[in-house]
Amino acid sequence: MSEAPSERFRPPPEYPPRSAWQTDCTACGACCSAPDIHALQKPLGVPCIYLDGIEGAGANLCRIYESRPQVCRNYQPDWVCGEVAPLPTLEARIRRFLEIYGLEGGV
């Protein structure tokens, strides 16, 4: 059973509240870069090889979107997106994502 969208955007008590107005993907690239994605042999903290571009217009879009693995299809934006999406670079977004989850990766 999936949690309600409003619950996904409620941060844990130790994090300050964020606006939940943005509940769609912002194409920040963090979810395609920070976590490891076993189905794609993608290591932790390294941008996916299928992530288009690094910064600028059209960046951070999946080049295999229509055939992406199920783990990618299952991902849904949540409160972490509000923490990382506003950061100015993909590297900063990756670093913050890993920090939130207490992980270390090669940025």
Question: Any idea where the domains of the chain sit in the sequence?
Answer: 26-100
Per-residue pLDDT of the chain (107 residues; tens, 9 = 90+): 455 657 777 777 777 666 555 567 888 999 999 999 999 999 999 999 999 876 666 678 999 999 999 999 999 888 888 889 989 999 999 999 999 999 986 55
Contact 50, 40 (CB under 8 A): yes
Which one, of 102, 101, 104, 100, lies nearest residue 16 by Cα? 100
Please count the CA atoms within 13 angstroms of the CA of 54 that sit on its side-chain side: 8
**Residue type at 99?**
E
